[in-house]
Amino acid sequence: MSSALTDLFPHPIVQAPMAGGVSVPQLAAAVSEAGGLGFLAAGYKTADGMYQEIKQLRSLTGRPFGVNLFMPQPEHAETGAVEVYAHQLAGEAAWYETELGDPDSGRDDGYDAKLAVLLDNPVPVVSFHFGVPSGDALDSLRRAGTFTLVTATTADEALAVQRAGADAVIVQGVEAGGHQGTHKDIPENDGSGIGLLSLIAQVRECVSLPIVAAGGLMRGSQIAAALAAGASAAQLGTAFLATPESGAHAVHKQALTNALFVRTELTRAFSGRPARGLVNRFLREHGPYAPAAYPEVHHLTSPLRKAAAKAGDAQGMALWAGQGHRLARELPAGRLVEVLADEIEAARTALAEVPGGLGGSGGEGGDA
C-alpha cells in the first residue's frame, strides 16, 4: 500500500468531519498539531463559508488537514411522502414556535462551487461522502497535489471507489455515528449494515487501496484491532465530539454519557437518510414514519433542530453518536490524540508479547 496518506501525519488517527458546526477549525487544528489528521466539514456550508474556515484553519496550524464534501443527491419521486411527513411534524413546529423548513432548498450542497475552490486553493486531503466523485474530479485534485478519500459501506462500494481513481477508501462500519455514507439510499437495505471488522476484511479481499477504518472507535485498543485487521489509519468522530474544541452544542456533549441516553439507532427522522444517533423522543416518535428523502427532510427539520438546541432540549435535537458513545472522554483534542496513540502502542506491545501472537510484525499493522 502507498504510504502517501500516513506520511501526512505521525499517528494513525483521523478526526472525522462532522457537519453541522461540530468540526470547527479549532478542533481540526488541535488534532493536526498533535499528530493526527484534522478535518473540516464543508457539508451544509456555502463555498465561501468553507473557504473562510480553511483560511482560519491555516492560520492555526501549518500541518496537513482535510476537507470533506457531500456528493450531490439524485432526484426522487417521494414528494407526497415528504408532504405527509411535514403534516406529521406540524405539532413539533407549534411546540417549538417555529416554521418548518423548505424541503426544496437544494440537493447539491454547492458541490461544484466547493470543488472549484478546492482546486483553486488546494488542501492536503479531500474526502467525499454519499457517493463517488467523477474520475475527472479525482484526477484534477490529484494534479493539484491533494490526496483523495471516499467513504464506502460495502465491498462493492469500495470497488467503485477504486475504479473511480481515489487514493484511499474510508471503510465505514454500521457502528458509526451520524450519516451512513452509502452511495445509494435504498430503503430496503435499512438495518443491513456491516460491522467494521467484518467490513475491513471484506474490503481487503477485493480492493488494493489503503483503508481508513471508521465506526464506533473510541479507544486506542480498538484502533489497534482495526490496524491489525488491515486498516492504515482510523477515523473517529464521536470520540472528538466531546472535546472542548468541538463545536457541538453543550447539551449534545453531555448526552453522550448521560444515563438517560443508553443506546443509539439508525434513523431517517431528522434528515431522510439513515444516520445513527442517541435515541430520544423525536427519534422514537418520528423515526418509523420518516420517508427516504434526503436532503428534503434535512431541510424540513432544520428549524426544529435549531429551536430545540436553542431551548436546550435534548429530546428534540439530532444527537448523532456512534455505538461507543458511553466511552467518550472530556479531554482536550490534542491530549486525546496523545492518549489514543499511547493506547495503540500499548495494545500493539501486548499483542506482540502474546505467545503465538503477531510477534515482531505486530507493530507494523498500521503502516500504509
In a structure prediction context, what are the per-residue pLDDT tens digits for the chain, which is 368 residues long?
A: 457 888 999 999 999 999 999 999 999 999 999 999 999 999 999 999 999 999 999 999 999 999 999 999 988 757 799 999 999 999 999 999 999 999 999 889 999 999 999 999 999 999 999 999 999 999 999 999 999 999 999 999 999 999 999 999 999 999 999 999 999 999 999 989 999 999 999 999 999 999 999 999 999 999 999 999 999 999 999 999 999 999 999 999 999 999 999 999 999 999 999 999 999 999 999 999 999 999 999 999 999 999 999 999 999 999 999 999 999 999 999 999 999 999 999 999 998 887 765 544 434 333 33
281 touches 315 (CB < 8 A): yes
Chain centroid, CA 32 distance in Å: 17
42 touches 68 (CB < 8 A): yes
Instruction: Compute how many other C-beta atoms are within 10 angstroms of the C-beta atom of residue 192.
Output: 10
pLDDT number for residue 77: 59
- As a whole number of Å, the CA-based R_g of the chain is 20
Q: Which of 147, 150, 140, 123 is nearest to 58 (CA)?
A: 123
pLDDT number for residue 119: 98
pLDDT number for residue 75: 82
The C-alpha cell of 142 is what?
490529484
The C-alpha cell of 119 is what?
482546486
Looking at the whole model, is its pTM more than 0.75? yes
What does each C-alpha distance from 209 to 200, 224, 259, 354 come to in angstroms? 12, 19, 40, 30
Q: Tell me the C-alpha distance between 224 and 221, whole Å.
A: 5
Q: Tell me the C-alpha distance between 331 and 241, whole Å.
A: 10
276 touches 324 (CB < 8 A): no
